[in-house]
């Protein structure tokens, strides 16, 4: 098996898990230290007043990404769709949904992003299509070559002679059987998600060739890569065996009622990524333009299964260890300094040598950071994860600490939630993290000139919005911007990583590189003050200088604290450096020291 790493310039990574020291050397491809900003297109910016975000809205706000220092934009589904599942039900892979705009609008977005130095990555949903897709209509009518594009089965007859699905597989959307009868074809089709999302049959090589054509089309239009959705569901057991019971106390129609061992995480899923990797490599070689197009894979699983995608050509197999754990959300109740260190160590342990780590704190499918962890922990999490080595993915709105928006049953649109009932819908709904971006305190939070939006704007928008945080001396957004500036220093990109848990409540990590100013992140996870020693970080001077502090902290840029004894406020988050660094002559070596003056001005200190 040829790994993706074997085709690239070597990057030596040595991990010593006992305090976790990670050393990264060598020349990198553009994506190895990038920050990815995910935009949910319906909720980012409405340009035409219909209450729905669109491509021109995104283009109009690309300067916001530039102001943050974002290098990569990932746009969630924009292909033509009936929008039963927010665009994850595609009816035409080669067209933009009219709700979002046109192909010309897309081309303009890519062109403007390129002017700003931002690369565009698109969401690609290959596992299934909408039942409105022309392929499905022809397949349902048994028109070749489309007859076997999808998973069809005539079903089985029970003892009473009643026809029923071929097995007990359940829909991820908790709607019962994953099989739906078609009167037209006189057979069942598989839908692992919504009934309107028919699963393609990837054991049909013609289907794989179709996916290559789609990939080529969007790379030709300027996409710098694709984020491939729902990868663990591509292949199913050829014998269609029944799933075993899970033992969970959930209704029989709930997806977690059974263990999906025959429909998820099959080895063929990984092998399919290798096929796409080869296609990407062939495309890059033919393009010969110096741009390596990137493959990002979405597969929610344990660390070993997620990291296995590296070996099959995924550049960035999304790391969901800080988002979900066996279907249980990772939040303030389940996370601790020890768990933060454990999850960082775990990913780096399973990650193959020569690959690049990545970190995800939020997305369109899980409760927002501010809701899962509390607004008081936003700065500490951003400081940690923006200053870890590798790739960081940020969900739009998390830079200002937007929380979930409460939505009633009547306001809920998500099919995953709507398949339940008014008493059970909230844990299943993804709508609360998909509400409009809060730009300012004007109509609809500046998202739209229309007072009616596709989902309601959070009622807190008059105080939680980008404009207010830009105007404040100190805010989550300003801390995010400043952390991004530190992230772009050489020590943050290439320095060794050391992580440490002190007592029960303090997590600390350093980034060090010979000849460069070092960085030290310290957080107090508890609500109470705590005094600790940071002498384990002996390469730092006794007096430490503050670079960044959380929004509620009394310490300011340039203040000094003692390494041997530092008192941290409750929920404190600090980024420190040695106090003996200087910026007499700006150079690559003294980047951090030379940022201090500008950070003081930035925070009006």
* Residue 473 bears catalytic tag: no
Do 297 and 317 contact (CB within 8 A), yes or no? yes
Give which of 108, 190, 66 is closest to 484, Cα–Cα: 66
Give which of 383, 390, 234 is closest to 307, Cα–Cα: 390
Answer positive or negative: Cα dihedral of 409, 410, 415, 419: positive
Q: What are phi and psi of 571, to 5 degrees?
A: 60, 30
Name every residue whose Cβ is closer than 8 Å to that of residue 477 and which is 6 or more positions away in sequence: 399, 400, 466, 469, 470
Can you list the positions of beta strands (E) in 183-239?
187-190, 197-199, 225-228
Name every residue whose Cβ is closer than 8 Å to that of residue 449 and which is 6 or more positions away in sequence: 46, 49, 443
* Residue 298 bears catalytic tag: yes
Q: Which helix (H) or strand (E) holds 402?
A: none
Length of the chain in terms of residues written:
605
Q: Which two tokens stand for residue 501?
A: 């848990």
Q: Write the secondary structure of 25-75 as one string of H (helix), E (strand) and C (coil).
A: CCCCCHHHHCEEEEECHHHHCCCCCCCCCCHHHHHHCHHHHHHHCCCEEEE
Residue with tokens 């690559």: 588
The 8-class DSSP code of residue 579 comes to T
Q: Which two tokens stand for residue 409?
A: 């049953």
Q: Which two tokens stand for residue 464?
A: 């939680």
Nearest 10 degrees: CA dihedral of 49, 72, 348, 510? -100
Catalytic residue among 199, 201, 229, 414: 229
CA distances from 423 to 404, 409, 416, 455 (A): 19, 9, 14, 20
Give which of 446, 472, 471, 468 is closest to 457, Cα–Cα: 446
Catalytic residue among 210, 254, 269, 298: 298
The 8-class DSSP code of residue 309 comes to G
- Active-site residue set: 229, 298
């Amino acid at each position: 098996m040829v790994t993706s790493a074997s085709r690239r310039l070597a990057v030596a990574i040595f991990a010593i898990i006992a305090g976790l020291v990670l050393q990264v050397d060598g020349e990198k491809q553009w994506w190895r230290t990038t920050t990815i900003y995910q935009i949910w297109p319906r909720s980012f910016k409405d340009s035409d007043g219909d209450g729905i975000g669109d491509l021109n809205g995104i283009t109009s706000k690309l300067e916001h990404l530039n102001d943050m220092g974002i290098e990569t934009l990932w746009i969630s589904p924009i292909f033509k769709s009936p929008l039963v599942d927010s665009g994850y039900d595609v009816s035409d892979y080669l067209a933009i949904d009219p709700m979002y705009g046109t192909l010309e609008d897309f081309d303009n977005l890519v062109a403007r992003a390129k002017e700003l130095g931002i690369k565009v990555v698109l969401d690609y949903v290959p596992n299934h299509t909408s039942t409105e897709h022309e392929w499905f209509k022809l397949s349902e009518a048994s028109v070749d070559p489309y007859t076997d594009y999808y998973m069809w089965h005539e079903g089985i007859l029970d003892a009473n002679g009643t026809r029923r699905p071929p097995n007990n597989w359940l829909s991820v959307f908790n709607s019962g059987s994953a099989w739906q009868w078609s009167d037209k074809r006189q057979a069942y089709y598989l839908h692992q998600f919504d009934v309107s999302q028919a699963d393609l049959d990837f054991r049909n090589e013609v289907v794989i060739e179709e996916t290559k054509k789609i990939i080529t089309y969007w790379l030709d239009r300027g996409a710098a890569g694709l984020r491939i959705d729902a990868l663990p569901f591509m292949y199913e057991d050829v014998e269609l065996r029944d799933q075993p019971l899970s033992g969970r106390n959930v209704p029989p129609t709930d997806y977690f009622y059974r263990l999906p061992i025959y429909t998820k995480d099959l080895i063929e899923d990984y092998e399919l990524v290798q096929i796409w990797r080869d296609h990407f490599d062939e495309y890059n070689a033919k393009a010969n333009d110096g741009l390596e197009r990137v493959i990002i894979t979405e597969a929610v699983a344990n660390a070993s299964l997620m990291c296995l995608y590296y070996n099959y050509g995924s550049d960035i197999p999304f790391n969901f260890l800080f988002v979900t754990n066996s279907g249980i959300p990772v939040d303030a109740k389940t996370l601790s300094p020890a768990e933060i260190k454990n999850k960082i160590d775990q990913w780096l342990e399973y990650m193959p040598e020569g690959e690049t780590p990545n970190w995800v704190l939020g997305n369109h499918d899980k409760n927002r950071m501010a809701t899962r962890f509390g607004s008081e922990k936003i700065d500490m999490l951003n400081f940690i994860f923006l200053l870890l080595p590798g790739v960081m993915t940020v969900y739009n709105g998390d830079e200002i600490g937007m929380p979930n928006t409460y939505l009633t049953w009547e306001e809920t649109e998500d099919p995953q939630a709507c398949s339940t009932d008014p008493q059970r819908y909230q844990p299943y709904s993804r709508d609360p993290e998909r509400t409009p971006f809060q730009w300012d305190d004007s109509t609809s939070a500046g998202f739209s000139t229309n007072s009616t939006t596709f989902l309601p704007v959070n009622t807190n928008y008059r105080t939680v919005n980008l404009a207010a945080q830009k105007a404040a001396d100190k805010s989550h957004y300003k801390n995010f911007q400043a952390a991004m500036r530190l992230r772009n220093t050489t020590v943050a990109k290439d320095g060794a990583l050391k992580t440490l848990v002190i007592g029960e409540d303090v997590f600390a990590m350093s980034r060090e590189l010979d000849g460069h100013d070092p960085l030290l992140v310290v957080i107090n996870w508890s609500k109470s003050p705590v005094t600790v020693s940071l002498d384990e970080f002996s390469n730092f001077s006794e007096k430490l200088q503050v670079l960044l502090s959380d929004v509620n902290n009394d310490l300011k840029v340039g203040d000094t604290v003692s390494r041997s004894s530092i008192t941290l406020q409750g929920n404190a988050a600090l980024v420190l450096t040695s106090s003996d660094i200087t910026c007499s002559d700006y150079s690559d070596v003294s980047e951090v020291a030379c940022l201090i003056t500008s950070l003081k001005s930035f925070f009006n200190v």
